Amino acid sequence: MIHTTDTNRPTGSAALTIADLQARIRDIPDFPQPGIMFRDITPLLADPASLRAVVDTMAAPFQGKADVVVAIESRGFILGAPIAYALGAGLALVRKPGKLPFTVESEAYTLEYGSNTLEIHQDAVTPGQRVLLVDDLLATGGTVRAAANLVTRLGGDIVGVCVLAELSALNGRAVLTDLPMTSFIVY
C-alpha cells in the first residue's frame, strides 16, 4: 500500500508533495559498491519542512495502533525516533552485531550486495506488544524480514512496516507478503 492523500501531499503539509520530498533525495551512483544506486536522504533530512512532512506522513496511518516503534539501523533510527514520539509509542533499536550492550537475539540476512546480521535486545519487545517496524528504504526486503523475524521471536505483534522509499525493481515486498507494508516514495 502506498499512502498519500488525494492531493498527493504528505499528511500535515500543505506546501510539499510526495514528488517534492522525492526531489530532495539525492542519487549516488556506485555506492557502496559499483552497480548500486544509493538513495541519500540527508538533503531531505536537512530541510525542516521536509523532515516534518516525512515524520507526520509516516506516523499518520499508525495513530493509536502501535505500542513500540522498532527502528532499523541506521537511517531507520533517524525516522523511527520522531515517529515513535508522534505516536506516543516507545522506541526499540535493531542494530548490527556488537552495538547493543545487553543480551540480544540475532538474525542473519542477505541484502542487495552481501549479507549481515541484525540484533535486538531480548527485552526490547514484550509478548503481545503492537510493533511498527520503521526504516528509510525497502530494497530486497532482507533487512526488514530479519527485523520482523526478531520481533516475532520476542512475541511482538507487527501492525505494520513503514518505509519512506521503496526500490520496486528489487521486489522486496515478495519476502514480506505476510506483513502490512506502507511506503511513500516508489522508485
75 assigned to active site? yes
Catalytic residue among 9, 24, 39, 75: 75
**129 in a domain, yes or no?**
yes
**77 in a domain, yes or no?**
yes
**47 in a domain, yes or no?**
no
Query: Residue 83's closest CA among 14, 6, 184, 187?
Result: 184
Q: Give the three-class secondary structure for 119.
A: strand
95 assigned to active site? no
pLDDT higher than threshold 50 for residue 1: no
Question: Which of 9-13, 31-35, 159-163 shows the highest mean pLDDT?
Answer: 159-163
Helices (H), the chain: 18-23, 42-46, 48-59, 75-87, 142-153
**81 in a domain, yes or no?**
yes
| Predicted local distance difference test score (pLDDT) of residue 14 | 56
CATH (domain of 119): 3.40.50.2020
Distances (CA, A) of 82 to 48, 54, 77: 13, 10, 9
Domain count within the chain: 1
CB-CB neighbours of 15 under 10 Å: 10
Note the pLDDT tens digit of each residue in 56-102: 999 999 999 999 999 999 999 999 999 999 999 999 999 999 999 99
Contact 100, 150 (CB under 8 A): no
Q: What size, in residues, is the chain? A: 187
**3 in a domain, yes or no?**
no
Cell of 105: 537475539
CA contacts within 13 A on the Cβ side of 186? 13
**127 in a domain, yes or no?**
yes
Ramachandran angles phi, psi of 3, nearest 5°: -100, 115
Q: For helices 48-59 and 75-87, give the axis angle rounded to 10 degrees.
A: 60
**68 in a domain, yes or no?**
yes
Range of the domain at 173: 63-186
Note the pLDDT tens digit of each residue in 138-174: 999 999 999 999 999 999 999 999 999 999 999 999 9
Sign of the dihedral through C-alpha 106, 78, 68, 110: negative
